Amino acid sequence: MSESAHIVVVEDEPEIGELIALHLAKAGYATSHFETGEDAVSMIKRSPPDLVLLDIMLPGMDGLEVCRRIKWNDSTESIPIIMVSAKGEESDIVTGLELGADDYVVKPFGSKELIARVRNCLRRATVPVGGGRPDNVMESAGITLDLGRHQVHAGNEEIALTTTEFSILSILMRRPGFVRTRDQIIDAIHGDRVVLSRRTIDVHITALRRKLGDYGRAIETIRGVGYRLDEYMRLEDQ
């Protein structure tokens, strides 16, 4: 993903929205600013952007409903969303992540943190070139992950994952049987310069298991440590 990516900023306070757009423009991104969720959803359906920076507290249609409509629409579900929370309340953040948001940032935030999160989100959403090569395909516990095509199959069924869920699954599948701590997963996805709650990873794991169905039981919780993929798990063993 190049620096010319198009980012939609949904922020009802004009001054804050303009400031965010200014920081993004300085980093080389094209932006569109909307002050209502209704206007943003309408535009996003017509012309999907590369990323949405979405405030939770909006008049009328709030940010959670905007996120729901984007992620539950087949034509827009793959668009990365960064939620913006003024309160930083865990309940709002967790709800956003459960709806499919890829990341969040709490007001007030610095421009460097914002740009780092945007770059990380766009990088994770980039599909690797030359998909389909054997070394891009990982298989374990009945799950197949194709890095090149950015596809996941559980048994014979293709599973739609968010970019963050896909990244977490790929981390676990690279070394099945080995435990990955929550901090290791956070660092692998976001880098060590981004501070992220460990609870965030738990929320993504829960969503990932749910989407994988019975195959999600291969993702084991190691109490007090983290997660690992049971490479020997078979459905008939359950």
Is it the case that residue 2 has pLDDT exceeding 60? no
User: Does residue 188 lie in a domain region?
Assistant: yes
Q: Looking at the structure, tell me whether residues 104 and 167 fall in a common domain.
A: no
- Give the domain range for residue 219: 134-237
DSSP conformation letters of 116-184: HHHHHHHHHHPPPSSTT-GGGEEEETTEEEETTTTEEEETTEEE---HHHHHHHHHHHHSTTS-EEHHH
Q: Is residue 1 part of a domain?
A: no
The pLDDT assigned to 127 comes to 44
Are residue 221 and residue 161 in the same domain, yes or no?
Answer: yes
For a pLDDT cut of 70, what percent of the chain falls above it?
Answer: 87
Residue 132 has pLDDT above 50, yes or no: no
Same domain (yes/no): 110, 17: yes
* Torsions phi, psi for 135 (to 5 deg): -75, -5
- pLDDT tens, residue by residue, 134-177: 568 999 889 999 988 889 999 999 999 988 899 999 999 988 88
Count up the domains in the chain and report the number.
Answer: 2
Residues 114 and 154 reside in one and the same domain: no
Q: Residue 197: exposed, middle, or buried by beta-carbon count in 10 A (0-12, 13-18, 19+)?
A: middle
pLDDT in tens, 35-47: 999 999 999 999 9
Instruction: Examine the domain organization and report whether 158 and 216 are in the same domain.
Output: yes
What pLDDT was estimated at residue 10? 97
Same domain, 13 and 121: yes
Give 142-154 pLDDT, tens digit per residue.
999 998 888 999 9
Residue 211 in any domain: the answer is yes
Report the CATH number at residue 200: 1.10.10.10
C-alpha–C-alpha distance, residues 122 and 3, integer Å: 9
Residue 205 falls inside a structural domain: yes
Q: Which of 82, 101, 125 is a domain's end point?
A: 125
pTM of the model: 0.66
Comparing 164 with 98, which gets the higher pLDDT? Answer: 164
96-115 mean pLDDT: 85
pLDDT of residue 234: 64
Point out the least confidently predicted range of 96-110, 156-170, 208-222. Answer: 96-110
